């Protein structure tokens, strides 16, 4: 175990981080198992190495109901993510992986898309509160891949990407999905839509519809995304929008 409160440990880790930055060329850090040490310690490493980007893995359990599914209200879960960024320094480069959004999306795409509109009418994950500091993802090396600890429904992965690549937050693409699953072209198309229309971490999200079989949202007045099997949505799409990407139970205009 590493004693992060030991001043010598802190000094040597900071020196190592600065070596990685100056000599090797890294310019960002990922804080693994960040709940294993305090945000105050992470702040020391960030402040003294000054990365351009830093993201923390704070993976805690969502609040579940008696049916074994996540509660609609996950405020406590996303508050924990927000608190970490606050303590480390909200004006700096610190962000956290949006595990709240990941957990809700996992269930929502299985015929419960109403979950994607929170009680306040906004996105129910961290992106609904502080999107500039939320790194969204569908799966990572722990949740998916060979570890398979909390995998996204494998036949609905592209719905997950249609969501995170059109929404606020900073989306993160999983290596396995991009290179091993044959989804490169589909993901690329969504990335192109995001880039072309300038969708960014603080883009404005307007949720138009959120029912069991349909989620429809407009981002920055430029992009509309639909998740779910319902097809009769033409009356909900404003004039002038054309389909830019589509796949199994998702479409982007």
**Is 202 an active-site residue?**
no
Of the candidates 200, 71, 91, 44, the one whose C-alpha atom is nearest the C-alpha of residue 136 is 200
Would you give the distance in Å from CA 75 to the centre of its chain? 16
Q: Which residues of 149-185 are buried (b: 16+ CB within 10 A; e: fewer)?
A: ebebeeebbbbbbbbbbbbbbbbebbebbbeebebee
Query: Which of 208, 81, 174, 190 shows the shortest CA–CA distance to 132?
Result: 81
Which of 1, 23, 32, 185 does the annotation list as catalytic? 32
For residue 160 the two structure tokens come to 């997950």
Q: What is the DSSP string of 174-210?
A: -HIIIIISS-HHHHHHHHHHHHHTT--TT--EEEEEE
Name the strand (E) or helix (H) holding 172. strand 170-172
Query: How many Å is the Cα radius of gyration of the chain?
Result: 19
Q: Can 57 be counted among the known catalytic residues? A: yes
Separation of alpha carbons 253 and 241, rounded Å: 6
Question: Catalytic pick from 23, 40, 50, 57?
Answer: 57
Active site residues: 32, 57
């Amino acid at each position: 175990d590493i004693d992060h409160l030991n001043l010598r440990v802190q000094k040597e880790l900071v020196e190592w981080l600065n070596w990685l930055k100056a000599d090797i060329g890294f310019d960002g850090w990922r804080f693994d198992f960040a709940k294993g040490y305090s945000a105050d310690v992470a702040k020391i490493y960030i402040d003294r190495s000054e990365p351009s980007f830093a993201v923390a893995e704070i993976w805690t359990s969502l609040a579940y109901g008696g049916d074994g599914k996540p509660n609609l209200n996950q405020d406590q879960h996303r508050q924990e993510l927000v608190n970490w960024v606050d303590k480390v320094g909200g004006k700096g480069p610190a962000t956290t992986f949006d595990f709240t959004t990941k957990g809700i999306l996992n269930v929502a795409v299985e015929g419960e898309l109403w979950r994607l509109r929170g009680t306040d009418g906004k996105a129910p994950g961290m992106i609904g509160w502080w999107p500039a500091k939320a790194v969204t993802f569908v799966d990572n090396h722990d949740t998916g891949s060979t570890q398979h600890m909390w995998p996204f429904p494998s036949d609905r992965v592209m719905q997950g990407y249609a969501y995170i690549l059109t929404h606020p937050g900073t989306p993160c693409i999983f290596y396995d999905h991009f290179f091993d699953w044959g989804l490169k072209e589909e993901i690329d198309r969504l990335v192109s839509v995001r880039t072309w229309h300038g969708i960014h971490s603080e883009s404005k999200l307007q949720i138009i519809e959120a029912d069991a079989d349909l989620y429809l949202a407009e981002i920055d007045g430029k992009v509309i995304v639909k998740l779910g099997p319902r097809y009769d949505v033409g009356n909900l799409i404003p004039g002038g929008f054309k389909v830019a990407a589509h796949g199994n139970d998702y479409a982007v205009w």
